[in-house]
Amino acid sequence: MSQEELRQGGLQQHTEHDMSHATGATSTPQPHLNNSNALGTLLPHPDGYFGADKFYGGAYLPPPLVPIMEAVGAAYLEIKEDPTFLEELTKLRRDFCGRPSPIFHCKNLSAEMGGGAQIYLKREDLNHTGSHKINHCLGEVLLAKKMNKTKVIAETGAGQHGVALATCAALMGLECEIHMGEVDVKKQWANVRRMQVLGATVVVATHGMKTLKEAVDSAFGAYIANPEDMLFCIGSVVGPHPFPMMVRDFQAIVGYEAKKQFAELHSASSSSGRTNPDYLVACVGGGCNSLGLFTAFLEDEDVKLVGVEPAGRGLSKGEGHHSATLTLGKPGVIHGMKCYTLLNEETGEPAAVHSCASGLDYPGVGPQHSFFKDLGRVTYETATDKEVIDAFFKLSRSEGIIPALESAHGLAYAMKLASTLPNDSDATILVNMSGRGDKDLDYVCDMHGDEYGIGKEGVFAGPTTTQHE
pLDDT class for 263, splitting at 50, 70, 90?
Answer: very high
pLDDT value at position 114?
Answer: 87
Does the pLDDT of residue 273 top 80, yes or no?
Answer: no
Are 423 and 351 in contact by the 8 Å Cβ rule? The answer is no
Does the pLDDT of residue 160 top 60, yes or no?
Answer: yes
| Angstrom distance (rounded) from CA 77 to CA 71 | 10
317-326 residue pLDDT tens: 999 999 999 9
Q: Is the dihedral of CA 458, 462, 465, 469 positive or negative?
A: negative
Does the pLDDT of residue 457 top 90, yes or no?
Answer: no
Measured from the Cβ of residue 21, the count of other Cβ atoms closer than 10 Å reads: 16
DSSP 240: S
Instruction: Point out the least confidently predicted range of 229-243, 249-263, 272-286, 429-443.
Output: 272-286
**Averaged over 106-134, what is the pLDDT?**
96
Amino acid at position 365, single letter:
V
Q: Which of 32, 45, 97, 106 is catalytic?
A: 106
pLDDT class for 2, splitting at 50, 70, 90?
Answer: very low
Does the pLDDT of residue 360 top 90, yes or no?
Answer: yes
Pairing relationship of beta strands 279-283 and 304-312 according to DSSP bridges? parallel
Does the pLDDT of residue 19 top 80, yes or no?
Answer: no
**Would you list the DSSP string of 367-402?**
HHHHHHHHHTSEEEEEEEHHHHHHHHHHHHHHHS--
Q: How far apart are the first and last CA of the chain?
A: 69
Q: Is-above-0.85 flag for pTM?
A: yes
Are 447 and 297 in contact by the 8 Å Cβ rule? The answer is no
Candidate ranges 65-74, 269-278, 453-462; pick with highest mean pLDDT: 65-74
pLDDT value at position 320?
Answer: 96
**Averaged over 75-98, what is the pLDDT?**
97
Q: Which of 32, 45, 97, 132 is catalytic?
A: 132
Which residue did the predictor score with more confidence, 383 or 463?
A: 383
Task: List, in order of start, the domains of the chain with CATH numbers.
Answer: 53-97+133-242 (3.40.50.1100), 103-129+253-452 (3.40.50.1100)
When the pLDDT of each residue in the chain is averaged and rounded to a whole number, the result is: 91
Are 34 and 19 in contact by the 8 Å Cβ rule? The answer is yes
Instruction: Point out the least confidently predicted range of 15-29, 415-429, 453-467.
Output: 15-29
**Averaged over 159-187, what is the pLDDT?**
97
Does the pLDDT of residue 45 top 80, yes or no?
Answer: yes
- Decide if 106 is catalytic: yes
Strand order in the sheet with 279-283: 103-105, 118-122, 428-432, 279-283, 304-312, 378-384
Angle between helices 243-251 and 133-146 (to 10 degrees): 120
Does the pLDDT of residue 22 top 90, yes or no?
Answer: no
pLDDT class for 29, splitting at 50, 70, 90?
Answer: confident
pLDDT class for 105, splitting at 50, 70, 90?
Answer: very high
199-219 residue pLDDT tens: 999 999 999 999 989 999 999
pLDDT value at position 21?
Answer: 35
Which residue did the predictor score with more confidence, 228 or 9?
A: 228
Instruction: Point out the least confidently predicted range of 103-107, 343-347, 368-372.
Output: 343-347
**Averaged over 158-168, what is the pLDDT?**
96
